[in-house]
Structure 1
């Protein structure tokens, strides 16, 4: 039997899945990843946790599936994007904690560079925001004694999580990233597919610390840390991997992933589409040196909002309870939660916005707050799809394919369909991020054919169809927009 391993290193957990014939999941292992909040707006991970947890879940998944290394045709890696690490090239020792994509410490740096945003956007497809890697990397170089000089002489390696894990899994032999992760750094020319000298100069980043950029399906080296040699053959950022796992290969197809944040990608084809509504132009995948592009909307808080209900407010004990309470809420109360815990992402891009609960009365209970938390995810998704239609009218009416932990909530998915006035399709295999990474590795290994393979294996678990009137949906969405207006700026 030949199997494929997928490593999905996310913001709040690290997961490995072993896939067998027909991309059928054989075994899964998962461990939670602690987050550190040293100051308001700062979010960090321990790089050692990321490395140790990744090896642990890979070994556990292999053991559960009864796999020997010789039976693994390839390993695919997918990861939380933009999270920034800097480590010693020779020893692999990180020079500090990883700065997570949610971190807002470089907001002032982005504001100082605001006059350059048109150039940055034209070259990288992104906007000037602390979300992306370049200003995080600059902060590490400027705030770690000796780091800038070491980086300039090539003694330090920069990477996003994929790159760091690849370097550690290959025991320091390979310092490489893939095109989708490179496209999220603010340092890559997404049309040429290489690091951009003007962006490096603007953000004061030494080229000597940057990794090589490769296709998403490629020979990335081998790891000897899983009991024998296993080839690493696939790599993509989590949202791009989910796009592949959802079989969204045709222009006009759109998927939305609900994890810690929410990320909607609309595939636009082989020519990048510049957004006029503050969406991101990004690389969807790169295969055989050919890039496909997408418009992306990024929401910073989706599952994190439910996590806040549980860990911050303590009004639920388990995430699944949010939907149960939401179903009990008083329909006459219109409470809104704007979850700007770390600012607002697309289409607002307001790093200074902060979360607010609006519209409460003396009769407001945990039921209305839970409903407002879940509704906020649907409202934000509607904002993104409205912007996508404005940027790319060919999108028209669409079916939204969804994945991620929050899609287990029938209540949330049904409200999303009501609000969008469009079908919402939930697949049988909800772990589409890992599925996409597995397809990349299997494709490179010669086990899986072209894009038709994910389409063949994609199966619908449930379709949520809208029944709310369009007038009511527009009214509800209008209420939401007014609530957002209260927290902007």
Structure 2
């Protein structure tokens, strides 16, 4: 006889990133005991266009799950639940009868719909869209991508006429496949990133659907982030029943994994870009400074409002220095180079390679390096790239605190770039608050795992999760106020020179 889910010992989490997919196995202590990861192809049909192959995403999903279970020495029968976290805003349309996508997934980074979004701004739709969705009009979000597919892919219209077309972000598509076509759902955190979801009514908005010419029939049902939504098709699990629960967008998952469950707590995840999210509780804060109002979760996994700021280029600035300028051979050299200088010597790098995100939202801004002299070398550029992440973080957090009326007492951080001790100390100095770095690289997966476990009773309550061991290293600010102000003034001057427009829209 197979054990019931509540008697099982582990949680499986699928983590769908922008360049890779991994499966993580968690035990009751919150530890990741096994993980397996695979990269997938990045498709660039034209400059500024970014796509993924949905069939490859699905194939790798099962591969990494089976490999992680094998690494852990476990079987499907040992799983209490499976959760999922994902890159948000990426769009897939597919045939409800065959499961075949009509086109590649259009990725959140893709800029093909930027002209249409600019037209919407000129037509004056910005305030209405921000009021309903908490978002600024941008090609970053899902709505304009769905519209593009409907207007440019004949198969989409063919299936729509036959009531066979389905839309989903990555979570929706993978859950539909995992459940054998039984679950066409998305959770509130992912839905709130489509620019079609009314975050106050917690439902798809008819006025927005009409504006973007998107039929409601193709949309998924919206569920909570901490509820069981179905089962994995037993055909994939050797006949074992495994519940599906804990569905949450990646940045909200990291917020939950960092246990930022009360208003005023915030986290920043540093990878290719950086994403800062602050819990604002049950009160939505609509920003006039380019921040996004979105939905996250509270301690129980119920919807809670959050402010979010996206920094487009964080670790990507270091990658550019490595690949294009051969500034260093290995990431271990980054801190050595940064510490080789007593100061930045007036050198600032503004990494606006494809525009600036929050709080500027200037897609026409372009990158620049300021303060170069004959003595400027690769150490200056590496240090400037690291410092740029802290300056951008400070700009976002200053806007968040001002608009929410909340005071940040500490910043929780995660992501690969946080291995840099130089960045962590400089970040604490520029923010003038302690920075807490977890040594756990899987906070995003853990956030989804906690929500999945709560949904099925694997953990009895949030207090049980709060008490789990958590290794954290704390960096205290030690820079003088005068030096902080001097550095920030230099940064603001540098940014002002790359902006294409003087103020927020």
Return the TM-score normalized by structure 2: 0.92
- In structure 2, the residue matched to 1:465 is 476
**Do the aligned residues in 1 keep the contact of 2:92 with 2:101 (CA within 8 Å)?**
yes
- In structure 2, the residue matched to 1:398 is 409
2:105 pairs with 1:98: yes
CA 1:323–1:286 in 2, change beyond 3 Å: closer, same or farther? same
**Do the aligned residues in 1 keep the contact of 2:261 with 2:297 (CA within 8 Å)?**
no
- In structure 1, the residue matched to 2:360 is 348
- In structure 2, the residue matched to 1:137 is 146
2:185 pairs with 1:176: yes
Shift of 1:158: 1.2
**Do the aligned residues in 2 keep the contact of 1:323 with 1:374 (CA within 8 Å)?**
no
CA RMSD of superposed structures (Å): 1.9
Whole-angstrom distance in 2 between the partners of 1:152 and 1:329: 64
**Do the aligned residues in 2 keep the contact of 1:216 with 1:286 (CA within 8 Å)?**
no
Match of 1:282 among 287, 294, 300: 294
Shift of 1:287: 8.8
Deviations 1:87-107 (A, max 9, x none): 222222222222221222211
- In structure 1, the residue matched to 2:503 is none
Match of 1:264 among 266, 276, 292: 276
Superposed, 1:235-274 pairs within 5 Å as 235-274=247-286
**Do the aligned residues in 1 keep the contact of 2:300 with 2:462 (CA within 8 Å)?**
no
Whole-angstrom distance in 1 between the partners of 2:381 and 2:450: 40
Tell me the number of residue pairs that the alignment of Structure 1 and Structure 2 aligns. Answer: 488
Deviations 1:59-113 (A, max 9, x none): 1111111111111000110011111112222222222222221222211111111
Match of 1:83 among 73, 87, 90: 90
SS at match of 1:31: strand
Shift of 1:459: 2.2
Whole-angstrom distance in 1 between the partners of 2:20 and 2:317: 16
**Runs of 5+ unmatched residues, structure 1:** none
Whole-angstrom distance in 2 between the partners of 1:77 and 1:481: 39
Whole-angstrom distance in 1 between the partners of 2:380 and 2:43: 30
SS at match of 2:363: coil
**Do the aligned residues in 2 keep the contact of 1:261 with 1:304 (CA within 8 Å)?**
yes
Whole-angstrom distance in 2 between the partners of 1:265 and 1:296: 4
Q: Which runs of 4+ in 1 moved over 6 A?
A: 286-289
Match of 2:461 among 444, 447, 450: 450
- In structure 2, the residue matched to 1:431 is 442
- In structure 2, the residue matched to 1:234 is 246
Deviations 1:241-298 (A, max 9, x none): 1111111111111111112221111111112122222211110127989521111111
2:351 pairs with 1:339: yes
- In structure 2, the residue matched to 1:121 is 130
CA 1:485–1:228 in 2, change beyond 3 Å: closer, same or farther? farther
Whole-angstrom distance in 2 between the partners of 1:228 and 1:296: 41
- Comparing 313-322 with 43-52, which one deviates more in the overlay? 313-322
- In structure 2, the residue matched to 1:68 is 75
CA 1:473–1:36 in 2, change beyond 3 Å: closer, same or farther? farther
CA 1:327–1:154 in 2, change beyond 3 Å: closer, same or farther? farther
Shift of 1:449: 2.8
CA 1:185–1:63 in 2, change beyond 3 Å: closer, same or farther? same
Superposed, 1:295-306 pairs within 5 Å as 295-306=307-318
Whole-angstrom distance in 2 between the partners of 1:287 and 1:194: 22
Shift of 1:181: 0.1
- In structure 2, the residue matched to 1:363 is 375
SS at match of 2:150: helix
Whole-angstrom distance in 2 between the partners of 1:172 and 1:312: 45
Whole-angstrom distance in 1 between the partners of 2:318 and 2:238: 39
CA 1:61–1:95 in 2, change beyond 3 Å: closer, same or farther? same
**Runs of 5+ unmatched residues, structure 2:** 1-7, 501-505
**Do the aligned residues in 2 keep the contact of 1:247 with 1:451 (CA within 8 Å)?**
no
Match of 1:204 among 204, 213, 219: 213
**Do the aligned residues in 1 keep the contact of 2:344 with 2:384 (CA within 8 Å)?**
no
**Do the aligned residues in 1 keep the contact of 2:289 with 2:360 (CA within 8 Å)?**
no
Whole-angstrom distance in 1 between the partners of 2:269 and 2:311: 10
SS at match of 1:5: strand
Shift of 1:415: 1.0
- Comparing 163-172 with 327-336, which one deviates more in the overlay? 327-336
Shift of 1:333: 2.6
Whole-angstrom distance in 2 between the partners of 1:170 and 1:286: 27
CA 1:478–1:39 in 2, change beyond 3 Å: closer, same or farther? farther
SS at match of 1:447: coil
**Do the aligned residues in 2 keep the contact of 1:76 with 1:441 (CA within 8 Å)?**
yes
- In structure 2, the residue matched to 1:485 is 496
Whole-angstrom distance in 2 between the partners of 1:30 and 1:396: 38
- Comparing 435-444 with 89-98, which one deviates more in the overlay? 89-98
Match of 2:21 among 14, 17, 26: 14
